[in-house]
Amino acid sequence: MKKLLIALVLFLPALSCTKKPVVPDDPVNVDDGRTEIFATVADCSGQAFVWSSSTKIGIYDTEGHSNQRYTLKNEFIGKTGEASLYGSTIGGAAVAYLPYSEKGCPCVAEHRQPVLSEQVAGASAAEHLILNTVLVAQGDDDGRFSFSYTGGNTGLIHLTVRASLEAPVEKVIFHSPDAPLAGNVSLFADADPLVSEVSHYLTLTGVGRACTEASPLEVWAQVPSGVFGHLTITLVSGGKMTTAIVEGKITVPSGGSADAVAEAVPNSSGNEDFTIIEGSYQ
């Protein structure tokens, strides 16, 4: 088994309700007495969010309405910027999430954003956020929800590994015995606990990339903000496992990312160990 010593440094998410009458179950151009909301999704690293006919938003409110589905109005299909959606009546303070799921997202009612314990590896930080982020936003007094991929109490771990592995990396498994790597993260920094339904493991699937000296492996993981000690990372490649051990404490702040660059070098017995070539311990 190879060992990987890594350290990391910092990036991340923010968020923002609604009300007003008028909506049918599918995209529409007419008003029918149901509730209208307005929503925007901020660009993700320059990539604009495009509204589509399949885009739906789920809403929870303080008057007991759970997982109300809101559907895009036809005229906004294919557009960017603010859009109008319609759904069943809501009242009181409302919190929305995107994308909508029939199963619902109960933690949203508690003003929490889910960070997934199994994530699909993206080819860039922006793609990783787009593939894995459940966007959550609180409504304002004018019935508007402002979603953002960056902000809130989550961040990114950015890992680059230079090594000579024989087969492409299939999975990357993170383990933190101290701070949670996944769970339902409060939108409020002073919440106790900040993370509920915690998981101390996070798995990146669908990696499918080589890890060589000439072609380093580069992956991202969305995690709750916090201090990570005794963090280990396991690369699954060709049925073999290579473990990366992070010494010291790594801090991933709200709105930040942690950068780690590791490189394989021969140790005294001629085998490959991993050592830090960039990054810092905290």
CA angle 168, 172, 178 (to 5 degrees): 160
Rounded Cα–Cα distance for residues 223 and 117 (Å): 9
Say what the pTM is.
0.80
Q: Are residues 135 and 184 in the same domain?
A: no
Rounded Cα–Cα distance for residues 135 and 149 (Å): 7
Please tell me which residue, 31 or 261, carries the higher pLDDT value: 261
Mean pLDDT lowest among 100-114, 137-151, 243-257: 243-257
For residue 166, what pLDDT is reported? 85
> Average pLDDT over the chain, rounded to whole?
81
CATH number at residue 77: 2.60.40
Is pLDDT at 13 greater than 60 in this prediction?
A: no
pLDDT tens-digit readout, 72-104: 999 999 999 999 999 987 777 899 999 999 999
Does any domain span residue 19? no
Containing structural domain, residue 167 = 3-13+152-278
With pLDDT > 70 as the criterion, what percentage of the chain qualifies?
79
CATH number at residue 248: 2.60.40.2890
The predicted model gives 241-269 an average pLDDT of 69
Q: Are residues 215 and 267 in the same domain?
A: yes
Q: Which of 130, 147, 164 is the last residue of a domain?
A: 147
Q: Are residues 159 and 205 in the same domain?
A: yes
The residue with tokens 């905290």 is: 282
Most confident by average pLDDT, 7-21, 27-41, 128-142, 222-236: 128-142
For residue 250, what pLDDT is reported? 80
With pLDDT > 90 as the criterion, what percentage of the chain qualifies?
52
Is pLDDT at 12 greater than 80 in this prediction?
A: no
pLDDT tens-digit readout, 166-209: 899 999 999 999 899 999 999 998 999 999 999 999 999 999 99
Q: Are residues 175 and 234 in the same domain?
A: yes
Dihedral-angle region of residue 20 (phi above 0 means left; psi in -120 to 50 means alpha; beta otherwise): left
